[in-house]
Amino acid sequence: MNTTQKLLNGKFSLEMKVYGSGEPLLYLHGAGGLMPAEPFLEDLGKHFKVYAPQFPGYGESTGNEYIDDIADAVLFFHELMDELGIPTANIVGHSMGGMLAAEVAAFDIHRARKLVLIAPAGFWIDEVPIPDLFAAQLTEIAGLLFHDPKSAAAQMMTAIPSDFKALETMYVERVKRLATASKFLWPIPDRGLKKRAYRIHAPTLLLWGDDDKLIPPAYAKEFTSRIKNSKLELIKNAGHMVMYEQQEALVGAIRKFLKG
């Protein structure tokens, strides 16, 4: 279900997907943002009450101009959790959202009951450079993000509309989203999480596609070595967009970890 959530007297107006019922789960999306339909989140909604906001600057969500850096983004999520009445919740984040979820948990150890980071950004290893998604062309993106770039999911996500108006709309939305992401990821996605990750006290599960070509699984040890109570699980036959390639395995792993 799509809802609109206002924060701070309308400073932020958020487009948010809400699914299911039960224990609260806050989902932080990656640099690409939420798609019109998110079957993976619907599936999670069978077990949790899922809150998935579009970050300010994405979709209909406004207030992007009030967020310049990690501290602003973290306080935004703290405010959102308070406003939703879930000051503590399970937090799941993918890619850029994983980076932000880790920061939310590190800035205030009481925010995350448990933390799930799916192929999170936040580090840079010279020997394993992350390909430049900002410079990638639409035709290259499927190859970077998917284990199987020919799959229906990959093709759908990277399809180029033939109608000019639709193309312009898609292009403008993509520019808006990636421009917002550039505040945290440009030119190198390291904003100092390495100094703060030790403050993550919540039990943490790292999930990674074994064929992630964007942020390779080698990055997992940056997290597991710094977060006391953490472990890594690889998801087979998945690239960076794990949720679109191995939805069942991913939901299963999250559910087992959060319910366990």
Is residue 108 within 8 Å of residue 196, measured between CB atoms?
A: no
Contact 115, 200 (CB under 8 A): yes
Q: Are 99 and 121 in contact (CB under 8 A)?
A: yes
Query: Which of these ranges, 96-104, 113-121, 164-172, 212-220, lies near other proteins under the rule CB under 8 A?
Result: 164-172
Q: Does 168 bind other proteins (CB under 8 A)?
A: yes
Measured from the CB atom, is 188 or 218 closer to other proteins? 188
Report the residue from 88, 155, 182, 237 that binds other proteins according to the rule CB under 8 A: 182
110 near other proteins (CB under 8 A)? no
71 binds other proteins (CB under 8 A): no
* Selected binder of other proteins within 176, 199, 201, 213 (CB under 8 A): 176
* Among the residue ranges 79-87, 176-184, 228-236, 251-259, the one whose residues contact other proteins (CB under 8 A): 176-184
When asked if residue 68 is in the footprint of other proteins (CB under 8 A), the reply is: yes
Site string for other proteins, 127-146 (x = CB under 8 A): -----x-xxxx---------
For the CB of residue 25, give the shortest distance to other proteins in the complex, in Å: 29
CB of residue 186 to other proteins, shortest distance in Å: 5
Binding flag, residue 72, other proteins (CB under 8 A):
no
In the sheet that 89-94 helps form, which strands lie side by side, from edge to edge? 2-7, 12-19, 49-53, 24-28, 89-94, 112-118, 204-209, 230-235
Residues 214-253 that bind other proteins (CB under 8 A): none
Distance CA 223, CA 205 (A): 10
Q: Is 171 in the site for other proteins (CB under 8 A)?
A: yes
Does residue 60 belong to the site contacting other proteins (CB under 8 A)? no
| Interface residue with other proteins, options 174, 221, 228, 256 (CB under 8 A) | 174
Residue 75: count of CB within 10 angstroms of its CB:
15
Q: Determine the size of the site formed for other proteins (CB under 8 A).
A: 21
Give the pairing type, strands 49-53 and 12-19: antiparallel
Closest to other proteins by CB, 92 vs 130, is: 130
How far is the CA of 69 from the CAs of 7, 123, 183, 186, in angstroms?
18, 16, 6, 11
The footprint of other proteins (CB under 8 A) covers 68, 132, 134-137, 168, 171-172, 174-180, 182-183, 186-188
